[in-house]
Amino acid sequence: MGPCYNQNMEKLFFSFLDLIYKKKCYFCHKSKYSLKMCPDCYNTLMYSDFRPNVIIDGINVYTCGVYDKTLQKLIRGLKYHRQKELAFFLAKFMYGYFSNLNLKETFQVIPVPQHKNRLRKRKYNHMELTAEEFCKLSGNIPNFGLIKRIKDTKPQYKLSRPERLQNLAGAFEADISKDLGLPILILDDICTTGSTFEEMIKTLKQNGLTNITCLASSSP
């Protein structure tokens, strides 16, 4: 059998490998683009209005998107189902929104921190992964040391706003030695009542840090 046969067999073999190992979209399960989130599904994400969703103690809080089934699955896949590659797509979505705000400063980007007990259980902080990708896209600087969670709080989703505030009271601690001297951009996935942002803002302001902007991917 000649070289032509060998070349055809080689092409067939690698085509077979491509078929087996090609990535499927987490959302539509198609492998056309070999991406964890294909362009067709990504383009269904919708931005919110380019204005603050809420203002907390004088600090603008922006929420990027409409919490539809695609964005919900994106957040939940990244947060709970170890789909770490989705951090890039969440960061891309958040940066696309953020770039429309025309905020010209260079920020130190702070993801909402997890308590060590929760981090031990989940193995990673999904918002740290998102912040890393966000900074690659935007040219801002990640800072994971400025504020940490020192209280292992209950899950927030079943709590009322007063209960959320009580649950989060004293949950964070700032290490002013880690401040980079830049405006602060706090990143979170979902802003429901704003209580997490509110407690972080309070902690930072108590340490003299007041130039703060908050950005969440969505609001339910």
Q: Note the pTM of the prediction, 2 decimals.
A: 0.87
CA dihedral 136, 139, 145, 148 (to 10 degrees): -80
Q: Across residues 80-98, what is the average pLDDT?
A: 97
Q: Where are the domains of the chain?
A: 1-41, 44-219
Residue 109 near residue 140, CB atoms below 8 Å: yes
Specify whether domain 44-219 bears CATH 3.40.50. yes
Q: Across residues 99-110, what is the average pLDDT?
A: 96
Specify the pLDDT at position 9: 64
Residue 42 near residue 89, CB atoms below 8 Å: yes
Q: Across residues 160-189, what is the average pLDDT?
A: 90
How does DSSP classify residue 81? S
Write down the residue that tokens 């429309």 correspond to: 100
Q: Check residues 188 and 152 and name the one with the higher pLDDT.
A: 188
Exposure of 142 in the CB half-sphere (CA atoms within 13 A) = 16
Closest CA to 37 of 92, 80, 113: 92
Specify the pLDDT at position 12: 60
The rounded distance, in Å, linking the Cα atoms of 32 and 36 is 11
Residues 30-74 pLDDT 10s: 989 999 999 999 999 999 999 999 999 999 999 999 899 999 999
